[in-house]
Amino acid sequence: MIYLFHGSDVGKARAKAFAWVSAARAKAPDAAYIRLQGKEISEAALYDAIGSQGLFFSKSLILIDDPFSDSEAGETVLALLDELAKSENPVAILSPKLLAAQAKKLEAVATKVFKEEAVPKRARGFNGPLVNALAAKSGPLLWQEIQKAERQGDAPELVHGLLHWKARDMMQKGGTKWSKQEARALSVELIELVSRARSGDLPLSESLERFALTL
């Protein structure tokens, strides 16, 4: 019987596999535990593993660790899949980042599959609500948007860059709440805010929040 652990999130896949091994060993502490990795994975070693028994227990627990990191080991595992699947000994195959063809072959014979996929980081688009809050001259709303942006992972420098871009944009076009002269003064204030943060006066994130609350 094969238990397959794979997926693009290497850390989670490995953690899941070793948690499973730990739980299995806790249930059968007298069972022999065999871990094969790298060059240790050979036809002879696999046959010995699936046929082995513990001293006080009829089954052994086998972990085949990342066989496809070595091309020869990976081919050996694929060649013996049927024998591994038929074994009475539980066989855990830990192999993150499998190729699609490899995953298909292993999943077809596995008793259970554990797949841990990394969640892709979504590229954040232009933060319209942030710059709109500045354009609306709404301090409380701007403070909320700054807080929200930082919770979503935006660096203070990015937040500041957008606000300064909007100030310069209003210098050229004006706005309903800002005259061009006021926007120019706003641009200077934002530049000075960064200078003070760099001098150690106050961290940029806190400076931005204070700026919003005094808008």
Domain boundary among 115, 148, 175: 115
175 and 135 in contact (C-beta within 8 Å)?
A: yes
Same domain, 96 and 173: no
Place of tokens 């070595």: 70
Q: Please state whether 113 falls in left (phi above 0), alpha (psi between -120 and 50) or beta.
A: beta
CA atoms lying within 13 Å on the CB side of residue 76: 21
Residue 121 domain-assigned (yes or no): no
Q: Pull the structure tokens for residue 31.
A: 């069972």
Same domain, 91 and 134: no
Same domain, 104 and 132: no
Number of domains observed in the structure of the chain: 2
Spatial separation of the C-alpha atoms in residues 134 and 137, rounded to whole Å: 5
How large is the average pLDDT for residues 154-171?
92
Same domain, 110 and 145: no
Residue 173 domain-assigned (yes or no): yes
Domain boundary among 60, 87, 115: 115
122 has a pLDDT exceeding 60 = no
2 and 106 in contact (C-beta within 8 Å)?
A: yes
Same domain, 52 and 89: yes
Residue 122 domain-assigned (yes or no): no
55 has a pLDDT exceeding 70 = no
Residue 182 domain-assigned (yes or no): yes
Same domain, 24 and 100: yes
Give the pLDDT band (50/70/90) at residue 74. very high
Model pTM?
A: 0.57
Same domain, 20 and 57: yes
* The pLDDT value given to residue 112: 96
Specify burial of residue 101 (Cβ count, 10 A radius: 0-12, 13-18, 19+): exposed
Same domain, 6 and 103: yes
How large is the average pLDDT for residues 41-64?
82
Same domain, 145 and 81: no
Residue ranges making up the domain that contains 182: 128-213
Same domain, 54 and 150: no
Residue 90 domain-assigned (yes or no): yes
pLDDT (tens digit, 9 = 90+) per residue, 129-157? 999 999 999 999 999 999 999 888 888 99
Residue 120 domain-assigned (yes or no): no
Domain boundary among 64, 82, 115: 115
How large is the average pLDDT for residues 177-182?
92
Q: Which residues does residue 63 pair with via DSSP β-bridges, in sequence order?
A: 35, 92
How large is the average pLDDT for residues 109-134?
84
Residue 123 domain-assigned (yes or no): no
